Amino acid sequence: MARLQRLQRRTVRVLVASQVLGGVGVGSGVAVVGLLAFELSGTAALSGVSATASTLGAAMAAIVIARLSVARGRRPGLVTGYLVGGLGAAVAVVAAVLGVFWLHVLASAAFGWASASNLQARYAATDLAQPATRARSLSTIVWATTIGAVLGPNLTGPGASVAAVFALPPLAGAYLFSLASFLGAALVQFVWLRPDPLRMVREQAAVPAVAATGKDTIRLAVAAIRASPEATVAVLAITAAHAVMVGIMVMTPVHMEHYGAALQLVGLTISLHIAGMYALSPVMGALADRLGRRNVVLFGLVQLGAAALLAATGDPTGSVWFQGGLVLLGTGWSACLIAGSAWLTDAVPVADRPAVQGTSDLAMNLAGGVGGTLAGIVLAIAGYPALAFGAIVLLVPAAVGAWRLGGVRSRSSA
């Protein structure tokens, strides 16, 4: 037990280091993806295509990473995701130099693989963790994303300076930072994520690794999720929370600008939202371990409902209620992601966990992509309040499912 605890602490430190590097890379590229798409396509109508391609790439990567984890452990899957993401960053630079829009779309799809690795790294922190501290270990990895989320977008200016040195288009510089960050994250995990935490826990549980195709991975995961009411509700909560968060968040700047809010206020509001998503992650993890996964998931869903209500009724030009709603949108998402992910891990056997976790992230990314797309349509047709109130409806099935489980303080139902 003492040896496993030492390995767990070492694993968390390695994952935090790679998460910071990967987060910087993701944040740097995400900050310019829409701008470069607009520049290359020449029309605002196509400026969101590359971002959508990145989301779909992350969704596809979730299953591939899960498949590699099922067969060979965590390290090969996570490293592969970062390497493909680095390739995407390099191709994005080429697309900027050649001025080819479709090449940037393909590059963005590959770039999304790094996002998938950054997201699935949280599960690697749970493999060797004890059930009583599993959510806190997971939340530490999510919290490490804060550094990248804050630092990455601020590299746009320095990226332009670096690009000038190499006679590249200004927006290509951000992707150079992404390339270096992803290669660094892959190197850290390849060298130091040893022994592989998933392979270690399998040895402890005498569970053999198996080879599986993508379809087999999804089929296995769906069967395992359907067999556990707790796993079903956990996936439903994670998916609904992500769809609601993305749908409201991406349309908030448009809504604020429409009503004449200053750009500084728009930036502050989104910054507060992002801080809510990541900065309080350790708090959500501690609450999930202490109060139970289900209770914190319900707490997160309530926060998201309150966030939608405040966003729908608050003044977007400077209301504290409106900005408070965006903060709650972040903290509610954090609670659902952390407690829901720990709940999902608790609820399925060790052998099924990688496939189930990858499929959950697949559903989460697809929900975010669909949510962001439909949000624009709803905003154009019915307005921002209708979008926010409609988001509340999406939370109801997960809330009802969690409530019907009857107050179970699930820590280890595997």
Same domain, 102 and 195: yes
Instruction: State the residue for tokens 């952390």.
Output: 338
Q: What is the pLDDT of residues 271-281, one digit of tens each?
A: 788 888 988 99
More confident residue, 394 or 153: 394
Same domain, 25 and 166: yes
Percent of the chain with pLDDT over 70: 95
Section 206-217 average pLDDT:
63
pLDDT at 357 over 90: yes
Same domain, 140 and 14: yes
Same domain, 327 and 344: yes
Residue 71 pLDDT: 86
Same domain, 198 and 221: no
Task: Give residue 73's identity as a one-letter amino acid code.
Answer: G
pLDDT at 309 over 60: yes
Of 207, 225, 248, which residue is a domain's last? 207
Same domain, 196 and 244: no
Residue 272 pLDDT: 85
Query: Whole-number mean pLDDT of the chain?
Result: 89
Same domain, 2 and 150: yes
Section 393-402 average pLDDT:
96
63-67, 131-135, 376-380: range with lowest mean pLDDT: 376-380
pLDDT at 32 over 80: yes
Domain CATH number, residue 228:
1.20.1250.20
Best-predicted range by mean pLDDT (248-257, 328-337, 363-372): 328-337
What is the 3-class SS of the chain, one letter each residue? CHHHHHHHHHHHHHHHHHHHHHHHHHHHHHHHHHHHHHHHHCCHHHCCHHHHHHHHHHHHHHHHHHHHHHHHCHHHHHHHHHHHHHHHHHHHHHHHHHCCHHHHHHHHHHHHHHHHHHHHHHHHCCCCCCHHHHHHHHHHHHHHHHHHHHHHHHHHHHHHHHHHHCCCCCCHHHHHHHHHHHHHHHHHHHHHCCCCHHHHHHHHHCCCCCCCCHHHHHHHHHHHHHCCHHHHHHHHHHHHHHHHHHHHHHHHHHHHHHCCCCHHHHHHHHHHHHHHHHCCHHHHHHHHHHHCHHHHHHHHHHHHHHHHHHHHHCCCCCCHHHHHHHHHHHHHHHHHHHHHHHHHHHHCCHHHHHHHHHHHHHHHHHHHHHHHHHHHHHHHHHCHHHHHHHHHHHHHHHHHHHHHCCCCCCCCCC
Residue 207 pLDDT: 67
Of 207, 224, 244, which residue is a domain's last? 207
Same domain, 103 and 221: no
- Provide the pLDDT confidence category of residue 407 given band limits of 50, 70 and 90: very low
215-224, 263-272, 305-314: range with lowest mean pLDDT: 263-272
Number of domains in the chain: 2
- Provide the pLDDT confidence category of residue 290 given band limits of 50, 70 and 90: very high
Of 181, 207, 233, which residue is a domain's last? 207
pLDDT at 396 over 90: yes
- Predicted TM-score of the model (pTM): 0.88
Same domain, 161 and 242: no
Residue 212 pLDDT: 55
Same domain, 366 and 380: yes
Tell me the residue range of the domain where 408 lies: 212-414
Q: What is the pLDDT of residues 40-72, one digit of tens each?
A: 988 766 777 888 899 899 999 999 999 999 888
pLDDT at 410 over 70: no
pLDDT at 120 over 80: yes
Same domain, 29 and 113: yes
Section 132-144 average pLDDT:
94
Same domain, 21 and 101: yes
Section 128-140 average pLDDT:
93
Residues with Cβ within 8 Å of 142's Cβ and at least 6 positions away in sequence, in order, are 122, 278, 281, 285, 334, 337, 338
